Amino acid sequence: MIDSIIKFIIDSSIKPISNRIASSTIARLIVDAFNATVRSTGKILACTGLDLTFVFVFGIVLGATQMKALEHLIALMKMTGEQTGGLIKIYNDTSVVAGLSVLEKSGEFKFHLQSLFFFIGVIFLSAAVLWILFEGLSWWFVYKASTKKEHQLSFWNYAKNFAIETTFFQAITIVLIISSVKLLYSQLTSITPIMTRETINLLFIILMSITWYFGALCYSMNNKSAYQNIKDAFVFGTTKFTKVLPSGLFFLVLMLNVDFVLRLLGFNTWVLVITGTILFFPVFFYSRVLAYKTVQLHWHRGAANKKQARQKIKVG
């Protein structure tokens, strides 16, 4: 009984203090990121231009390639419908499986399938190259705004790291997409599918979110080696998740507020586009600054403490 009372008193005393410390930490991060953003008007404009250029150029590439991909997809769907008698959605009909097994041996089917994957590959390759070119430069401006000059990498070192890191996480993204497509195809054609379409979609969203959670942290690391950035991102994102969470939640609140304002202005397209540009891109810039500040505060400080501890051990 006495032990319980003492524990209650200690918890009641310590929790408010720890909560105050935690809240002051996130408050300091928010303010530091805000100050860095306010001082970087020129960089915000540059990032906005680069982000819009990426969207515009990729939109052109996507529009040109997806029409070709769609032609082959329609041909595949038509062939599939003819071969299975339109029974593709009837899971327990064995004629579907039999029809598809014959169809997969067709030369015309293979041609359309290979062409479809080719154009999808072009889309992914274009996305990766354009992301490295435009968003790499955009992240560089954010990096310059977030990091003290004496700790900054050279442009080419940073660009090399960004390209390698993007390639790594883009490869994971492609594997996830291909796996999801295969699962969906299996779900449609199997007599006894192992997962529903909703489960596959949910699993895909979760895995993609996890992938680019680590991807964003990786971009925010400041090592000379891309390999070390990737390694540190996974370690930091896993072991220091509770440190990242407040910044992530604050970013989510910001985006929800932007979305709320844009929904109110949805009555006029031009007002929506102009206001969306004015609101979204500075918030997107700020969110990346906040990511850098979060990593700099929690990860680099932790690494410095470990280094000091090792030095003390050696001295002792």
Does residue 2 fall inside a structural domain?
no
Q: What is the pLDDT of residue 107?
A: 66
Does residue 18 fall inside a structural domain?
no
Q: What is the pLDDT of residue 264?
A: 83
> Which residue segment(s) compose the domain that 228 sits in?
23-315
Q: What is the pLDDT of residue 188?
A: 66
Report the Cα–Cα distance between both ends of the chain, in Å, rounded: 44
Q: What is the pLDDT of residue 101?
A: 53
Does residue 16 fall inside a structural domain?
no
- Which residues have C-beta within 8 Å of that of residue 37, sequence separation ≥ 6? 44, 145, 282, 285, 286, 289
- Which residues have C-beta within 8 Å of that of residue 286, sequence separation ≥ 6? 33, 34, 37, 254
Does residue 13 fall inside a structural domain?
no
Does residue 282 fall inside a structural domain?
yes
Read off the amino acid at residue 110: K
Tokens representing residue 223 in the block:
């090592």
Indicate the Cα dihedral angle 229, 233, 235, 239, nearest 10°.
150
Alpha helix (H) residue ranges in 190-240: 197-219, 226-239
In sign, the C-alpha dihedral spanning 44, 46, 49, 51 is negative
Domains held by the chain: number: 1
* Regions of the chain where pLDDT drops below 50: 2-3, 5-18, 20-22, 83-99, 102, 302, 304-305, 307-310, 312-313, 315-316
- Which residues have C-beta within 8 Å of that of residue 23, sequence separation ≥ 6? none
Among left, alpha and beta (phi > 0; psi -120 to 50; other), residue 147 is beta
Q: What is the pLDDT of residue 171?
A: 93
Does residue 65 fall inside a structural domain?
yes
Read off the amino acid at residue 282: P
Q: What is the pLDDT of residue 95?
A: 47
pTM above 0.85, yes or no: no
Asked if 232 contacts 221 with a C-beta cutoff of 8 angstroms, the reply is: yes
What are the φ/ψ torsions at residue 225 (nearest 5 degrees)? -105, 135
Q: In terms of residues, how long is the chain?
A: 316
Does residue 146 fall inside a structural domain?
yes
Span 28-73, pLDDT tens digits: 899 999 999 999 999 999 999 999 999 999 999 988 888 888 887 7
